[in-house]
Amino acid sequence: MFPLRFSHFSVCTSVLVSALLAAGATMAAPVAATVENATTPTACAEEDNVSLVLRGEGIRRMRIEALQPAYLDSIGNDTTAPDFSNCNFDGGAHPTDPAHKFKPRRVVLLDDAQWRIVGMTLPSFWRPQQVPVRVGARTDRGFHMLQIFRKEDGKALEALVLYPADGYWRIKPLPEERFGDGVYGSSFLLGPVEQGSRPVVDIASIRIVPKPLAIHLRFVGGGSAVAKVSEISRTRTALDVRLSSPTANARPFAVLRSMYVTPDNADVSEVRWQESPEAAEQVLSLSDLKTLSGAHLRFGRSLPSRHNTSAPDIVFGGFDDDKAPR
């Protein structure tokens, strides 16, 4: 009887293990985001004509990174000056933008051994919103820019800017020493995106916790997000993001905004993506992109640009539904 029972036990165990492996495979299925290309043509190198719209179902966590462009070691000169030669506006102000007036000011909200955080109010801005901001125990409002500087060898280097009134972010790694302060390129929105004359995210309040550095956002329409600044180095600046509610396909959770005139005059000219973490990387030029789905999305350039040459690539990845460990 023992051999029979042993055989029966083995069969049951085998079936159980197979079922668990199948369930595990289901739980570990990669979470992906869909990218839609809403780019419009332009001849102006200072116009954000690139809009790459990210949607997804059930995403609760992700990582957003700024990485040095792959060609960085091959360039000697970093072209950072603005180029308005083919633009119908001057000084960065678009003619269709409203111009709400403000009293200019610059406030140092935090200055310690590791970080400097500065709030700036500009003389005019295209939106009237005045978002309350709390840094540590200090509360203020009405800033158009929040600048985060990482200190290295006593020098403060800017790596992140958040625009509270319209929800735009810009991030970059610490620059190579030969490139001075470095340069931003693409920007992005994070949260429930509203589409008007341009996409925005309406932020109700911002709270920055210094140790460890994390940016807490509450949104006007409900919900919140926490962006933990997990790394600022000469390789990357990385944000680990957690959303209070899972995303839904009906509304974008992020939009990458950038500039493209030609492949050698662009802040983004291609997308490299993996359909799953184990899949091979694929590449597609921006002009050929319509829509795609991926678990890892890198928006950048292979060809050195004559505009913002050292500007970083922007990566969205690590998408997770937060339901189970992977």
Q: What is the mean pLDDT of the chain?
A: 89
Say which residue the tokens 């001075």 belong to: 180
Q: Is residue 303 situated within a structural domain?
A: yes
Task: Tell whether the model's pLDDT for residue 92 goes beyond 70.
Answer: no
Which amino acid, 213?
L
Whether the bond between 263 and the residue before it is cis, its omega within 30 degrees of 0, is no
Question: Is the residue at 75 inside a domain?
Answer: yes
Q: What is the pLDDT of residue 76?
A: 76
Q: Which residue has the higher pLDDT, 236 or 79?
A: 236
Q: Please tell me the distance from the alpha carbon of residue 39 to that of residue 266, in angstroms, as a whole number.
A: 12
Which pTM was predicted? Answer: 0.88
| pLDDT bracket for residue 96 (50, 70, 90) | low
Task: Establish if 270 belongs to a structural domain.
Answer: yes
CA pair distance 304, 103, nearest whole angstrom: 40
Containing structural domain, residue 82 = 33-90+179-320
Question: What's the average model confidence in pLDDT over 25-46?
Answer: 83
What is the pLDDT averaged over residues 79-87?
84
In a domain, 96, yes or no: no
Instruction: Please state which of the ranges 10-14, 85-89, 145-149, 303-307 shows the lowest mean pLDDT.
Output: 10-14
- Residue at 173 is within a domain: no
Calculate ∠ Cα 282-56-184, nearest 5°: 65
Q: What span, in angstroms and rounded, lies between the C-alpha atoms of 271 and 313?
A: 10
pLDDT at 90: 55
Instruction: Say if CB 54 and CB 253 are below 8 A apart.
Output: yes
Give the H/E segment covering residue 204.
strand 203-209
| Ranges of H-type helices in 234-321 | none
Specify the pLDDT at position 88: 83
pLDDT in tens, 161-176: 999 999 999 999 998 8
Q: Answer yes or no: is pLDDT of 95 > 80.
A: no
| Strands 203-209 and 132-135, bridge-based pairing | parallel
Which range in 66-80, 82-96, 243-257 is most confidently predicted, on average pLDDT?
243-257
High-pLDDT (> 70) share of the chain, %: 87
Positive or negative, the CA dihedral 301, 257, 271, 317 is: positive
**142, part of any domain:** no
Q: How far apart are CA 65 and CA 200, in angstroms?
A: 20
Q: What is the mean pLDDT of residues 192-206?
A: 95
- The confidence score (pLDDT) of residue 98 equals 84
Number of domains in the chain: 1
pLDDT tens-digit readout, 222-270: 999 999 999 999 999 999 999 999 999 999 999 999 999 999 999 999 9
Confirm whether 228 is domain-assigned.
Answer: yes
**pLDDT for residue 6 is more than 50:** no
Residue 12 has pLDDT above 60, yes or no: no
Residue 311 lies in a domain: yes
- Alpha-carbon distance of 165 to 129, in angstroms, equals 5
Residue 219 clears pLDDT 90, i.e. is over it: yes
DSSP state of 211: T
How much is the pLDDT for 26? 43
**pLDDT, position 73:** 85
Average pLDDT over every residue of 123-139:
96
